[in-house]
Amino acid sequence: MRLWLLITLTVLTHSVFNGSRMLVSLYAIHLHASPFTVGALMSFYALLPMLFAVSAGRLVDRVGARWPMFWASVAVAAGALLPFIWPRLETLYAASTLIGTGFMVFHVAVNQVVGALGSSEDRASNFSWLALGFSVSGSLGPLLTGFAIDSIGHAETFLLLFLFPLPPLVVLWLNRPALPRARERKAGAGEPRVIDLLRNRDLRRVFIASGLLSMGWDLYTFVIPIHGSRIGLSASTIGVIMGTFALATFAVRLVMPLLVRRVKEWHTVTAALLIAAGTYSLFPFFTSVPLLMALSFVLGIGLGCSQPMVMALLYNTAPPGRQGEAVGVRTTVMNASHTVLPLAFGALGAALGMGPVFWSMAGLLAAGGYFINRRRGSS
């Protein structure tokens, strides 16, 4: 019951996060923003999460998940409502900051709780079901956003997204059913230090792999609206293409609970990096919608299968009572890339076009897959 309730709350909150990223990009383009400005807006989704994710993880470890998730939902709802009230380009910076920071706290908390449910043997399966929920919202967000933009306009679509965090607010306020408390740290463990987590070789490898995979996921959300707009696609068509990516993640995650006991985590993570690298290298050569949908589907298969494995590795490797902090470190690594890469790739796209952006990301992912596989083989 608690697992499926958590997944439902996550679907609603992540739909706002994922849909708003597409909506903010397309609204900024509608307001004649440059690719660099769009990149800056995407960076604001990750700026505060990059700075405060570890603190959020420690807070969840200390007080539990309920109230952090509640106030995170408040922030997401406020961020979705602001551009409807004040429909200006400047407001999008506040909206992206609120939604990005709120969802970061929600994400850290829900992963900590899902990891605490059931036995260690159930953990990879539980994370697979949670990842399946992310796939549902990953498809729902872009599809709903794209069709809503074409039907009712950009500002009104923000109001539609505002409705999604309201049920989580009610459920978390009522606290039904109660969420599990955080695990106690070992006696005499001392003050927690991030450097101790980074010195753990296995954890460090998980942080690197998850950061690279997150970069691949984040770049897709950033470049597809720009690439689609430049080749003349409508908002609903872009939404369909991005929905195909989410559909692929849903399909692969639907079978992951059946496969997690039969496949090795690091083999899956390495394969995901190499599939993503190959797919990104092909995007600039195609403008046909069916081919873009096919590439998006393959990319979704590659990236979608990796997240449950990464989260299971992370939770199993982290010291007792510091799982939330470890998720926070992972989130910091992810959001550091989210902050820097949109700015860098936005400037690169403005100067040289979108082709070099796709190929640069492909090179990073391929190098990461080689590095991770090499380090795994030498351990």
> In the numeric block, which tokens belong to residue 377?
């083989």
Looking at 64-200, list the stretches that DSSP marks H as alpha helix, in order from N- to C-terminal side.
Answer: 66-85, 89-116, 120-152, 154-162, 166-174, 194-199
Query: Is the peptide bond between 177 and the residue preceding it cis, with omega within 30 degrees of 0?
Result: yes
The terminus-to-terminus CA distance of the chain in angstroms comes to 40
Q: What is the mean pLDDT of residues 113-129?
A: 77
- Mention every residue, 6+ apart, whose C-beta is less than 8 A from residue 248: 296, 297, 298, 299, 300, 301, 304
- Mention every residue, 6+ apart, whose C-beta is less than 8 A from residue 264: none
Give me the pLDDT at residue 120, please.
66
pLDDT band at 159 (very low <50, low <70, confident <90, very high): very high
Task: Map residue 283 onto helix, strand or coil.
Answer: helix
- Per-residue pLDDT reduced to its tens digit, 188-228: 555 667 788 877 777 888 888 888 888 888 788 778 888 88
Domain ranges of the chain: 2-179+201-378
- Which range is least confidently modeled, 12-21, 111-120, 292-301, 355-364? 111-120
Task: Map residue 371 onto helix, strand or coil.
Answer: helix
Q: In the predicted model, is pLDDT for residue 260 greater than 70?
A: no
pLDDT band at 186 (very low <50, low <70, confident <90, very high): low
Is CATH 1.20.1250.20 the right assignment for the domain spanning 2-179+201-378? yes
Phi first, then psi, for residue 186 (nearest 5°) are -65, 145
Give me the pLDDT at residue 15, please.
94
- Per-residue pLDDT reduced to its tens digit, 307-332: 778 887 787 777 777 777 888 888 88
Cβ neighbours, 10 Å, residue 48: 19
Helices first, then strands: H and E counts in the chain: 16, 0
Q: In the predicted model, is pLDDT for residue 295 greater than 90?
A: yes
The pTM score is: 0.73
List C-alpha distances in Å: 231 to 35, 235, 345, 346.
Answer: 14, 12, 18, 17
Q: What is the CA radius of gyration of the chain?
A: 19
| 61 touches 324 (CB < 8 A) | yes
Alpha carbon distance 348, 35 (integer Å): 9
Looking at 283-322, list the stretches that DSSP marks H as alpha helix, in order from N- to C-terminal side.
Answer: 289-304, 307-317
N residues, the chain: 379
Give me the pLDDT at residue 182, please.
54
